Chain A
Amino acid sequence: MGELRLMKGNEVLAEAAIRCGCDGYFGYPITPQSEVMEMLMERQPWDETGMVVLQAESEVAAINMVYGAAGSGKKVMTSSSSPGVSLMSEGISYIAGAELPCLVVNVQRGGPGLGTIQPSQADYFQAVKGGGHGDYKMIVLAPSSVQEMNDFVDLAFELAFKYRNPAMILTDGAIGQMMEKVELSDYKKRWTEKEVNEKNGSWATFGKPSTRERNVITSLELDSAKMEVNNQRFQEKYRRMEAEEQRYEAIQCDDAEYLFVAFGTAARVCEKAVEIAREKGIKVGLLRPITLFPFPKDVIKELAPKVKGFLSVEMNAGQMVEDVKLAVYDAGCNQHVEFFGRMGGIIPSPGEVVEALEQKLMKEGK
């Protein structure tokens, strides 16, 4: 068993990055995720593993540093919170267009605009439907505990390199700020130049030897026939992600008549709501998407015919509910899909969620 610690989610992101052999972090402080860089600066990994940590002059600079470093086949990341991720969105689109792996962490806060510093899930659309311009997708992982903040850093890098695509950890201020017991991962060595060459030599730019053609990293292709071929390749890759990477956790779904669908902090609240509702004799379960893209629609397809309805619980005005509806529709089912959420940095209480279930799904005629 690894080392047990009591840590904040944000601190764990930093620790996990060091331990998984990350080569570089480029960021710019913003509440509620400033502890990520704070922790990295305190740990001084450049002495320990050689990992670079740099505070850029802005989020735009940070994401472009990630772009450049990712081009050289290195394991690099950034983190920010909602307004900062909006600034980074152009860079993320370029990185997706250039087919480079990297990790972007969004510790969400309430919006729009500068909004609030309290936790929110209002960047779901931004994360899973694009954010930046062009037809691209990111792999989006949604941790719901401090332990998963640890585990998903390594997983995100693994998936990012597997698909040569940016991966995002979409979390929120609550998980970033809260402390839980966490079992830290064992140290993995950073890749050596030789290993980078072996793993990524076909595309990475780290000095051209005479034995091969030069590698070019760009998202630009002025010939639209060639650009369409690129787009087709991207789309084929996204379909592959959908086929192979759907992840979820099903809690008490086996005998459930109703299902909560919720991710991250909202899923934790719903887990409690399941306990409360079951005590009242309501057969409800929780489906917790772990990957938001690819959305775990296959399991919804499987569960939809067995239940009377779904309640999507989110800390926003109703975003993931659209994907739940699409999945239920794709399954050829017509179960009710309802939504309950709080906005502006408010976390719904478990009691409110149970009440919403009773009001929206269990009243007569539903």
Chain B
Amino acid sequence: MTEEMIIAGFGGQGVLSMGKILAYSGIMEDKEVTWFPSYGPEMRGGTANVTVIVSDNRISSPVLHEYDTAIILNQQSMDKFEKAVKPGGTLLYDPNGIVNHPTRNDINIYKVEGTKTAVEMGNPKVFNMIVFGSFLKVKPILKLDNVEKGLEKSLPERYHKLIPLNLEAIKKGQEIVETVLEV
């Protein structure tokens, strides 16, 4: 199993930390992982993306030109990464702020109302975990108890009291993900 993915959106949306939790969960499952961020003079509001690879084998390039899965959280990232999904691959996106929805018909497309649901849950910060939950639903590459361990490892101890809330958000994301197209 090798899953090559890109998570892309605005800085401040929790893109990098979602990737980190994903990577840590992968380690808990005894997989090889690579987390490669776009780093630069980015800040809240700018674009941020991270390439995460989870694999049973040694990982070669941390930098890729096509992906098994793209998780897309803003329009700029849609413009940039829709075309980079491998044929037969998966695109998961939050329609909030998206004007030009994906148009490809050779990939699986899923939609999650993450922004809206996070507000409904009363905590906009769990947005990324809702989206993460949706990803785990459409690509069940990791077991939920390993994700819980991943959360424990990647969050500093003073935030451990927030783990139940994050798990709740993940479960919510698993419930609300909608299929747009399956090939």
Contact = CB atoms under 8 A, between A and B. Distances in A.
Task: Among A117, A179, A271, A273, find the residue whose CB has the most chain B CB atoms closer than 10 A.
Answer: A179
A32 B37 CA distance: 12
Contacts of B41: 117
Task: Among B32, B34, B153, find the residue whose CB has the most chain A CB atoms closer than 10 A.
Answer: B34
B37 A177 contact: yes
Given A181-B27, A181-B32, A181-B33, A268 B62 contact: yes
Contact of B65 (A4, A118, A174, A350): A350
Contacts of B32: 180-181
A6 B62 contact: no
B147 to A, nearest CB: 14
Interface residues of A, number: 25
Contacts, number: 70
B153 to A, nearest CB: 7
B159 interface: no
A181 B28 CA distance: 10
Contact of B60 (A4, A117, A271): A271
Interface in B41-78: 41, 59-66
Instruction: Give the bracket for the number of chain B residues in contact with chain A.
Output: 20 to 34
Contacts of A177: 36-37, 39
A178 B59 CA distance: 13
Interface string A19-35: 00000000000001000
A269 interface: yes
A173 B60 contact: no
Contact of B34 (A118, A178, A349, A352): A178
A349 B63 CA distance: 7
A351 interface: yes
18 contacts: A6-B24, A6-B153, A32-B39, A117-B39, A117-B41, A177-B37, A177-B39, A179-B20, A179-B34, A180-B32, A180-B35, A180-B62, A269-B61, A349-B63, A349-B65, A350-B63, A350-B65, A351-B66
Interface of B: 20, 23-24, 27, 32-37, 39-41, 59-66, 153-154
Given A178-B37, A179-B23, 16 more contacts: A4-B27, A6-B33, A6-B35, A117-B40, A174-B63, A177-B37, A177-B39, A179-B33, A179-B34, A180-B32, A265-B62, A268-B63, A271-B60, A349-B63, A350-B60, A352-B65
Closest 4 CB pairs of A and B: A272-B61, A271-B60, A349-B65, A272-B60
